């Protein structure tokens, strides 16, 4: 029995993982492509509610988000979600330049003391939906700022300043959740929250801010994260399988139930010896003001 396909989308200020979203889009593409939004929303809610929990008070919000993603999937015009919290995405499967861009963005946000919903999208198929011409790519509020290169921190700062989010927003801001992509108030088996996919690295981000990142990964055999450095101490907790960890030239095997800490600013890499799942916690140095 194959493991379920999980796709992350934005619902309001939260990023949630949904089972069989793309499969449902493919099934509906021929019949519903030209149907009005309310009909599409109703059918998507009906189909997706069979495998995803959607509470009654959030039906309308989920329906709007489903229609948006369906139109995006078909390459049709769609209504943007108009986020009230600054949204930043780095697109890149996990190369050194992609990870460096992530670190640069987090440092600039920290320097500016600017709150944001930040996500590093590593899934290749998910990246393809943004229709960028190369990676790494940087998106701010769904606008592509650059692609195929690592911009300077000065450019990142200017782009963020130009969003106007440094100015007082007025009104009541929705409080974003500190931990996302996991259902609250119920038990979970961590290893079951991310699926293996052939020839790919799959990630699910639970937290991402200037002080901490918490990400669940699955690696197909032979896949990995190339040599790079991190701006904080990174702890790998092995949930399933076995991996080869290289820290500054020293190699070690890590297997289910073990942990290993990779020090900040020291080159390291992770490669799956066989299919492998890990929880990666990166604790970053505090910003001195």
Which tens digits make up the pLDDT trace of 13-22? 566 788 889 9
Task: Pick left, alpha or beta for residue 12 (phi over 0 → left; psi -120 to 50 → alpha; otherwise beta).
Answer: left
What pLDDT is recorded for position 205? 79
Helix or strand or coil: residue 164? coil
What pLDDT is recorded for position 195? 83
Model's pTM, two decimal places?
A: 0.54
**Is residue 113 pLDDT above 50, yes or no?**
yes
| Position 77 confidence tier, pLDDT thresholds 50, 70, 90 | confident
Model confidence pLDDT, tens digit, residues 254-280: 999 999 999 998 999 999 999 999 999
Q: Please list the alpha-helical segments (H only) found in 115-211.
A: 124-128, 153-161
Task: Pick left, alpha or beta for residue 148 (phi over 0 → left; psi -120 to 50 → alpha; otherwise beta).
Answer: left
What pLDDT is recorded for position 13? 55
Could you give all domains of the chain from N- to C-terminal order, each with its CATH number? Answer: 6-74 (no CATH), 87-161 (3.40.30.10), 195-284 (2.60.120.10)
Best CA proximity match to 117, nearest among 62, 68, 173, 63: 173
Helix or strand or coil: residue 123? coil
**Is residue 23 pLDDT above 80, yes or no?**
yes
What pLDDT is recorded for position 12? 66
Residue 238 buriedness (CB in 10 A; 0-12 / 13-18 / 19+): buried
């Amino acid at each position: 029995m194959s493991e379920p396909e999980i796709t992350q989308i934005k619902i309001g200020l939260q990023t949630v993982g949904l089972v069989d979203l793309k499969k449902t889009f493919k099934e509906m593409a021929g019949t519903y492509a030209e149907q009005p939004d309310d009909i599409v929303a109703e059918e998507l809610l009906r189909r997706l509610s069979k495998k995803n929990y959607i509470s009654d008070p959030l039906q309308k919000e989920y329906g709007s988000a489903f229609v948006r993603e369906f139109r995006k999937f078909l390459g049709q015009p769609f209504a943007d979600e108009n986020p009230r919290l600054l949204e930043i995405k780095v697109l890149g499967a996990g190369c050194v330049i992609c990870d460096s861009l992530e670190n640069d963005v987090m440092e600039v946000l920290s320097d500016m003391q600017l709150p944001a919903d930040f996500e590093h999208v590593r899934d290749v198929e998910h990246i393809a939906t943004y229709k960028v011409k190369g990676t790494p790519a940087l998106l701010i509020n769904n606008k592509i700022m650059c692609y195929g290169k690592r911009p300077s921190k000065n450019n990142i700062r200017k782009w963020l300043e130009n969003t106007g989010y440094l100015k007082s927003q007025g009104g009541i801001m929705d409080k974003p959740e500190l931990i996302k992509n996991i259902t609250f108030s119920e038990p979970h088996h961590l290893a079951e929250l991310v699926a293996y996919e052939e020839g790919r690295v799959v990630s699910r981000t639970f937290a991402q801010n200037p002080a901490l990142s918490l990400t669940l990964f699955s690696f197909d055999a032979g896949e990995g994260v190339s040599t790079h450095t991190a701006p904080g101490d990174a702890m790998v907790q092995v949930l399933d399988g076995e991996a080869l960890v290289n820290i500054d030239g020293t190699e070690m095997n890590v297997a289910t139930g073990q942990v290993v800490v990779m020090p900040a600013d020291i080159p390291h890499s992770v490669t799956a010896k066989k299919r492998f799942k890990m929880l990666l916690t990166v604790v970053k140095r505090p910003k001195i003001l």
